[in-house]
Amino acid sequence: MADYQYDLVIIGSGPAGEGAAMSAVKQGWSVAVVDDRPMVGGNCTHLGTIPSKALRHAVRRMVQFNTMPMFRAVGDPRWFSFPDLMKSADDVIRKQVEGRTKDYARNRIKLHLGRASFTDAHHISIKQPDHTRETIKGRFFLIATGSRPYHPDDVDFDHPCIFDSDSILSLDRTPRNIIIYGAGVIGCEYASIFAGLDTRVDLVNSRSGLLSFLDDEISDALSYQLRDLNVTVRHNEEYDHIETRNNGVTMELKSGKRIHAEALLWSNGRSGNTKNMGLEELGLVVNERGQLEVNGHYQTTVPHIYAAGDVVGWPSLAGAAYDQGRFAAAHMCGAAREYHVEDVATGIWTIPEISFVGKTESELTEQQVPYEIGRAYFKNIARAHISGEEVGVLKILFHQETLEILGVHCFGAEASEIIHIGQAIMNQSGDANTIEYFIRTTFNYPTMAEAYRIAAINGMNRLCRESRKLVI
């Protein structure tokens, strides 16, 4: 007999688990959340999004201080070690945990600490920190266990100079040089962070370019900025083997190159946290990356067991995971409104940051969609002059005939905030989604939002010149 019974049992307290819990409890359901950490928040709060973005913010502020003439007039440059900058992240994590814990308590959501595994389709066994066990019965389940860095068998992650994107947060020094293997989102973000600390970075990329899912122009801009930060980007390279020594590592590439550094950050892929959960007994099969397959309602092949967040793979964004959890719970509860997370805004916190929503030029060209481009360069925007953040561009792709906005791409300071203005208009139905909105709308001045008006006029002027119409 089960020790506890609930309508919904959620395994994992990250964004997906939290979203589902808050949605279900508002439908009057009894909800339990199981997590093997003593504090809520999941990997997002403790190892991923929050600490890395807090670290990046601290590095960016330090770089600003050391490069702005006004501050140079009153003192010498100041440099902080990696551990010193991580202290700022610790305070952010504490505040996040405190807020989320209060939310769970206020909504009467029961927290169970321990490692969960299924004993049958409606029961899980929880191994608690004191090694005792308790059993929970649920009508529905949501697996929201997140992901962890992928570890190849031939890399010794126990060596003090080899790190993954989780363990790098415990780095106790600022290395003079570092190898980052894997030029995905995490690799590019940490390349920016370490470059800001004056660490020499070798970024090893197995592909021909950075972040192939980006618009080509934005990807090129990122490559330029990384090179400007003295990051050495090595494209089309794969490692052959890694040699370790007491004070560093040597990576030999299949091309024959040998790279030496004080530290190695492995950021090549992630695996879903599904190991030892008893999923096989339920007939649930995971792919080679430990991820679960789900349908449009986030159901697994077992109808009352759902999965959301990084454990299902795409798009591996905290905001998307939160919505996936909410929508999964809405489907369980039979709520009237339910959506599938599809076209979401993507944020990449390099220095400067990147964000986009919608189609790229390559995708539109492949689909044979007639489009035009409107651009606004930050160097021409008053607010960027004031803030000293003049590197960047806002790029709007729109249909030549209907003027429908097809994609918005931004590279520069606060790109992840700026993008949501374009996203809001793109999500309007029918004729409300048009680039003309930005021309007939009055923006505050000076603001970065004004970039939309500049980009819209730029794009319409291009269109008008081509069609011999009156320029706006």
Q: In sequence order, what DSSP letters do the residues of 46-99 get, joined into one string? A: HTSHHHHHHHHHHHHHHHHHHH-HHHHTTS------HHHHHHHHHHHHHHHHHH
Cα separation of 400 and 59, whole Å?
A: 42
Work out the mean pLDDT of the chain and round it to a whole number: 93
What is the fold of 4-149+271-333? Answer: FAD/NAD(P)-binding domain (3.50.50)
Helix (H, G, I), strand (E, B), or coil: what is residue 235? coil
Strand partners of residue 263: 178
Query: pLDDT by residue (tens digit) across 1-23?
Result: 678 899 999 999 999 999 999 99
Helix (H, G, I), strand (E, B), or coil: what is residue 372? strand
Strand partners of residue 347: 355
Domains 4-149+271-333 and 352-465 share a fold: no
Q: Which residue has the higher pLDDT, 335 or 135?
A: 135
Question: What is the rounded average pLDDT of the residues 392-408?
Answer: 97
Parallel, antiparallel or unpaired: strands 392-399 and 405-412: antiparallel
CB atoms within 10 A of CB 231: 21
Kindly list the domain boundaries of the chain, sorted by start residue: 4-149+271-333, 162-268, 352-465
Which listed CATH number (3.30.390.30, 3.30.300.30, 3.40.50.10540, 3.30.2080.10) goes with 352-465? 3.30.390.30
Question: CATH homologous superfamily for 162-268?
Answer: FAD/NAD(P)-binding domain (3.50.50.60)
User: The whole model's pTM is what?
Assistant: 0.93
> Which of 123-132, 152-161, 334-343, 425-434 is predicted with the least confidence, judged by mean pLDDT?
334-343
| pLDDT score of 315 more than 90 | no
Question: What is the rounded average pLDDT of the residues 37-60?
Answer: 93
Query: pLDDT by residue (tens digit) across 174-185?
Result: 999 999 999 999
